[in-house]
């Protein structure tokens, strides 16, 4: 059985993270942060080039508009909960790019990546989808 490929999108209002992840490879095949206005072109090219088995979309900002876009492209999309993916994306970024020099001394929770990590959030969404693990649990506001 061939390894499944997932195209994941972390939606936003100005920019979106997009990543293609294969379940048997920890390194994403493709990841990028794209302007929302360019997302349709990037998705169309990625679908043609990689032919993913699944397209998953984070349930956050602007996801409803993107579902409509994908239906227009004839692509079946699954909307998944993306709660906690930004924090997980930050950690995933530092796995790929460990801090060097004095930056190693900064506690992990205080490190801030030098640029947008929406693409890493898409990687996390894809990895969670492939693993079947739910995203981080939301904390109850009840005391």
| Contact status, residue 125 vs residue 31, Cβ threshold 8 Å | no
- The backbone torsions φ and ψ at residue 37, rounded to the nearest 5 degrees and listed phi first, read -65, -20
> Where on the phi/psi map is residue 93: left (φ > 0), alpha (ψ -120 to 50), or beta?
alpha
d(CA 114, CA 93): 10
Range of the domain at 77: 5-131
In a domain, 143, yes or no: no
Using 50, 70 and 90 to split pLDDT, how confident is the model at 61? Answer: confident
Provide the CATH number for the domain around residue 51: 3.30.420.140
d(CA 112, CA 8): 23
More confident residue, 19 or 136: 19
* Average pLDDT of span 59-69: 85
Amino acid 25: pLDDT: 87
In a domain, 140, yes or no: no
In a domain, 142, yes or no: no
More confident residue, 10 or 70: 10
CB atoms within 10 A of CB 125: 29
What's the pTM value of the predicted model, to 2 decimals? 0.88
Tokens at residue 111, please?
């490190």
| Contact status, residue 118 vs residue 15, Cβ threshold 8 Å | yes
The answer to whether residue 135 scores a pLDDT higher than 80 is: no
Count the domains in the chain: 1
Summarize pLDDT for 74-133 with one digit per residue, the tens. Answer: 888 999 999 889 899 999 999 999 999 999 999 988 999 999 999 999 999 999 999 887
In a domain, 54, yes or no: yes
d(CA 87, CA 40): 26
In a domain, 137, yes or no: no
* Average pLDDT of span 58-64: 85
In a domain, 138, yes or no: no
Helix H or strand E encompassing 5: strand 5-10
The answer to whether residue 142 scores a pLDDT higher than 90 is: no
């Amino acid at each position: 059985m061939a390894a499944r490929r997932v195209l994941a999108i972390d939606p936003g209002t100005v920019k979106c993270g997009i990543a293609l992840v294969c379940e048997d490879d920890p390194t994403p095949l493709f990841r990028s942060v794209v302007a929302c206005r360019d997302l349709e072109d990037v998705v169309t090219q990625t679908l043609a080039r990689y032919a993913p088995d699944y397209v998953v979309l984070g349930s956050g900002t602007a996801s409803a508009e993107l579902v409509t876009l994908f239906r227009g492209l004839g692509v079946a999309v699954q909307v998944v909960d993306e709660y906690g993916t930004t924090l997980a994306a930050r950690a995933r970024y530092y796995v790929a790019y460990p801090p060097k020099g004095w930056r190693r001394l900064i506690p992990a929770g205080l490190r801030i990546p030098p640029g947008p990590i929406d693409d890493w959030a898409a990687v996390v969404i894809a990895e969670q989808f492939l693993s079947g693990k739910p995203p981080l649990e939301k904390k109850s506001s009840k005391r």
